[in-house]
Amino acid sequence: MPQSDELLVKLPEAIIFDLDGTLVDSYEAITASVNHVRSAYGLPPLPESEVRRHVGRGPTYLLEKTVTGGDIVKDLAKYRAHHPSVLRSGTHLLAGVASTLKALKQGGFLLGICSNKPGPYTRELLDYLELSSLFAAVIGPEDAPRIKPAPDMLKAALARLRIAPANALYVGDMVVDVQTARAAGVTVWVIPTGSDDLATLLAAQPDRILKSFDELVPLLAKKKGSGPFSTVFHR
């Protein structure tokens, strides 16, 4: 898998992020809502490690995999009714995220989010975590015809930001993010902090695998060289 700094032919104008597993750890909240639905069928609760494997491909996929044999329409309604009660308490920022996003914003990058998580949940979390002002575009499954790994949502984010695919970088934590970026013609970096492990991500051949989220800043600062962005990071 390539890891060269020259993979970015030029510095991106925009950086678009996945949410769950990339910026935030919300597996506790998601697991609680999945188990709420399971309890309606008398099913035992699943551990977070089992639910985690199915996160990132939208709520329909999640419930089809974790509540087999259920009524998907009713199950989605139960999940959505329950989730607001645990959304905030069961979600926290991953290490290095807040400082990195602020540095990127100060450095002049346009920031966006492209997530299969329902948009209202994403926006509530961004408000709660005091990050909303950093993002110029927040795209959820309601904003495009098809969810990831189809390129529609990422293309919608690019359109909202008025950025060409060649001028963007997408950062995620799953194979589905690699597939989405490839289909949209966008460079993709991933970090193994979410639903897919390192070996799985390696096999997907992203353009780079980050060791940590805050590695984003020095990598981009190095590419940019001297200037305001380097000053923001190195001061």
Cis peptide before 218 (omega within 30 of 0): no
Which two three-digit tokens encode residue 17?
């992020």
Which stretch of DSSP H or E encloses residue 218? helix 216-224
199 burial class (0-12, 13-18, 19+ CB within 10 angstroms)? exposed
Using 50 as the pLDDT threshold, list the residues of the chain that sit under it. Answer: 1-6, 225-235
CATH code of 8-25+91-234, in short, is: 3.40.50.1000
Backbone angles phi, psi at 176, to 5 degrees: -60, -30
The CA distance from 126 to 186, in Å, is 24
pLDDT at 224: 59
DSSP symbol at 71: -
Q: For position 49, what pLDDT does the model report?
A: 94
Q: Which residues are catalytic?
A: 18
pLDDT tens-digit readout, 2-42: 444 445 557 899 999 999 999 999 999 999 999 999 999 99
Side-chain-side CA neighbours of residue 5 (13 Å) = 11
| Encoded amino acid at 188, one letter | V
pLDDT of residue 3: 46
- pLDDT score at 9: 53
Per-domain boundaries in the chain: 8-25+91-234, 27-85
- pLDDT of 68: 87
Predicted pLDDT at 221: 83
**What are 155-172's pLDDT values in tens digits?**
999 999 999 999 999 999
Please state, in angstroms and rounded to a whole number, the distance separating the CA atoms of residues 136 and 50: 34
Give the residue among 197, 194, 193, 229 at the shortest CA–CA distance from 212.
Answer: 193
Model confidence, pTM: 0.89
The greatest distance separating any two alpha carbons of the chain, rounded to the nearest whole angstrom, comes to: 61
Residue-level pLDDT at 233: 39
pLDDT reported for residue 34: 97
